[in-house]
C-alpha cells in the first residue's frame, strides 16, 4: 500500500514520475470543461474521504474536483462532526473508514494524527497539511516552476518569512529534487532543527534573493499559530515582506509563489502578487493536477 505522507518519505524516482504524470494529465485535459471526465478513469467506482480538521479552500475543492474528473466519488468530512473529534481513537477511525472508502486524505493539526491514520488504515492515506508539513502543495509548486522555467534541478529557491510547515516541505523537496534552498527570516522563526542541512540561512533578505530563480513566501500567522502571537509575528516578519524592491534583486525571470491564502499587502505586496513574475494562480490550479497524479500513484498496484 502506498501512502503519500511526506516528500522525504517518497522515493525520488516516484516523485519525478508523479510530477511528469501530472503534467501529462493536465495536458490531456487542456481546453475541456472542468466538469468533464478524464479519458482515463482510474478512480472509477472508488470512494474517497476528505477529512478536514482545519479550514481549506484549495485543498478541499481541488481534491473533490480531481476525484470526480477521474471517475470517483468523494465525501468531505469535518473533523469536529466526526467521532474523531469526540474521543474515538484515530486508530479506530482509520480501521472503520478503511471498510467504507478506498482512499483517505486528511488535513490535521498534529503530525501524529496523520501517522496513526496511516498506520491503522488499510487504504492509502494522503497528507493534506499538518502543523509540520504540506507536501501536496510543494508537488504543485514544482509542477508550476517546471512549466514556466524548466527543470528545478540546480535552481536557487529563496523562502522569505516564517520557517513553517510549507517551508518544511520545500526543504524536503530541495533534497529530493536537487535544488538549492535559502531561508531568509528572523532567528526566532527559523525552521525546525530536523530540517538542518537541507537549506542555508541568509539573514538579510536583500542578500538572500540575489540570483534567485524562485522567491516564495507564506502567511505570517499559520492556522496552528495562536492568534495572540499575531502582532509579535508581524513585527518580526515585516522586514521580510516580498515587495517589488526585493523581487528586483532576484533574477529578472524569477518566479514568485505563495501557496495562498494570502494576506494582501502583508507577506507580499499586491504589486508582487499581481505582478508579471507571479504564478500564484497557476500554482493554485496545479494543486488539482498534482493531487490527481498523487491519488493515481497511491492506487497503482
Ligand atoms: N494552499 C492551501 O493549502 O490552501 P487551502 O488552505 O485553501 O487548502
Ligand atoms: N502555513 C499555512 C499554510 C496554509 C495553506 C498554514 O498552515 O496555515
pLDDT in tens, 50-109: 999 999 999 999 999 999 999 999 999 998 889 887 889 999 999 999 999 999 999 999
In this structure, which residue's CA is closest to atom 7 in ligand 2? 222
ipTM exceeds 0.85: yes
Residues 294 and 18: beta-carbon distance below 8 Å:
yes
In this structure, which residue's CA is closest to atom 3 in ligand 1? 59
In this predicted structure, the answer to whether residue 18 has a pLDDT above a threshold of 90 is: yes
Rounded CA separation 145/283 (Å): 9
Rounded CA separation 299/288 (Å): 17
Residues 273 and 180: beta-carbon distance below 8 Å:
no
CA separation, residue 10 to residues 48, 145, 169 (Å): 21, 20, 12
Residues 211 and 250: beta-carbon distance below 8 Å:
yes
- Ligand 1 neighbour 164 (Cβ under 6 A): no
Question: pLDDT category, 13, cuts 50, 70, 90?
Answer: very high
Burial of 214 (0-12, 13-18, 19+ CB in 10 A): buried
- Ligand 1 neighbour 133 (Cβ under 6 A): no
pLDDT digits 0-9 by tens, 228-284:
999 999 999 999 999 999 999 999 999 999 999 999 999 999 999 999 999 999 999
C-alpha distance across the termini of the chain, in Å: 8
Record the cell numbers describing residue 169, joined without a space: 516541505
**Fold designation for 136-283:** Rossmann fold (3.40.50)
- Ligand 1 neighbour 58 (Cβ under 6 A): yes
Q: Which residues are catalytic?
A: 107, 134, 137, 218, 259, 287
The highest-level CATH class for domain 32-132 is alpha beta
Residues 145 and 214: beta-carbon distance below 8 Å:
yes
pLDDT of residue 85: 75
pLDDT of residue 250: 98
Q: What is the mean pLDDT of residues 151-175?
A: 98
Interhelix angle for 280-299 vs 58-69, to 10°?
Answer: 50
Q: What is the mean pLDDT of the chain?
A: 97
In this predicted structure, the answer to whether residue 133 has a pLDDT above a threshold of 90 is: yes
pLDDT of residue 84: 85
Q: How many angstroms separate the alpha carbon of residue 257 from the centre of ligand 2?
A: 14
- Ligand 1 neighbour 219 (Cβ under 6 A): no
Q: Is 137 annotated as a binding residue?
A: yes
Residues 299 and 103: beta-carbon distance below 8 Å:
yes
pLDDT digits 0-9 by tens, 101-131:
999 999 999 999 999 999 999 999 999 999 9
In this structure, which residue's CA is closest to atom 2 in ligand 1? 58
In this predicted structure, the answer to whether residue 289 has a pLDDT above a threshold of 80 is: yes
pLDDT of residue 301: 86
Q: To the nearest whole percent, how much of the chain has pLDDT over 90?
A: 96
CATH 3.40.50.1370 domain span(s) along the chain: 32-132, 136-283
**pTM for this predicted structure:** 0.98
- Ligand 2 neighbour 223 (Cβ under 6 A): yes
Point out the ligand nearest to the CA of residue 159.
2
Amino acid at each position: 500500500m502506498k501512502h503519500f505522507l511526506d516528500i522525504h518519505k517518497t522515493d525520488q524516482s516516484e516523485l519525478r514520475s508523479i510530477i511528469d504524470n501530472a503534467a501529462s494529465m493536465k495536458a490531456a485535459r487542456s481546453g475541456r470543461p472542468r466538469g468533464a471526465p478524464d479519458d482515463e478513469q482510474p478512480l472509477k467506482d472508488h470512494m474517497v474521504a476528505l477529512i478536514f480538521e482545519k479550514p481549506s479552500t484549495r485543498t478541499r475543492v481541488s481534491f473533490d474536483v480531481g476525484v470526480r474528473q477521474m471517475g470517483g466519488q468523494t465525501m468531505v468530512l469535518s473533523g469536529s462532526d466526526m467521532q474523531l473529534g469526540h474521543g474515538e481513537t484515530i486508530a479506530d477511525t482509520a480501521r472503520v473508514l478503511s471498510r467504507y472508502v478506498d482512499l483517505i486524505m486528511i488535513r490535521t493539526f498534529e503530525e501524529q494524527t496523520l501517522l496513526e491514520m496511516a498506520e491503522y488504515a488499510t487504504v492509502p492515506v494522503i497528507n493534506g497539511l499538518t502543523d509540520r508539513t504540506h507536501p501536496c502543495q510543494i508537488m504543485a509548486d514544482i509542477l508550476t516552476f517546471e512549466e514556466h522555467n524548466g527543470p528545478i534541478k540546480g535552481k536557487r529557491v529563496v523562502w522569505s518569512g516564517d520557517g513553517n510547515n510549507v517551508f518544511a516541505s520545500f526543504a524536503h523537496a530541495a533534497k529530493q529534487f536537487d535544488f538549492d534552498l535559502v531561508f531568509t527570516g528572523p532567528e526566532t522563526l527559523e525552521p525546525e532543527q530536523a530540517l538542518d542541512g537541507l537549506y542555508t540561512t541568509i539573514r538579510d533578505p536583500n542578500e538572500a534573493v540575489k540570483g534567485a530563480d524562485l522567491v516564495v513566501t507564506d502567511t505570517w500567522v499559520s492556522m496552528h499559530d495562536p492568534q495572540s502571537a499575531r502582532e509579535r509575528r508581524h513585527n518580526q516578519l515585516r522586514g521580510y515582506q516580498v515587495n517589488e524592491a526585493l523581487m528586483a534583486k532576484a533574477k529578472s525571470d524569477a518566479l514568485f509563489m505563495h501557496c495562498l491564502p494570502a494576506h494582501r499587502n502583508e507577506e507580499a505586496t499586491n504589486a508582487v502578487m499581481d505582478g508579471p513574475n507571479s504564478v500564484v494562480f497557476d500554482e493554485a490550479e496545479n494543486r488539482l493536477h498534482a493531487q490527481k497524479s498523487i491519488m493515481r500513484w497511491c492506487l497503482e498496484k
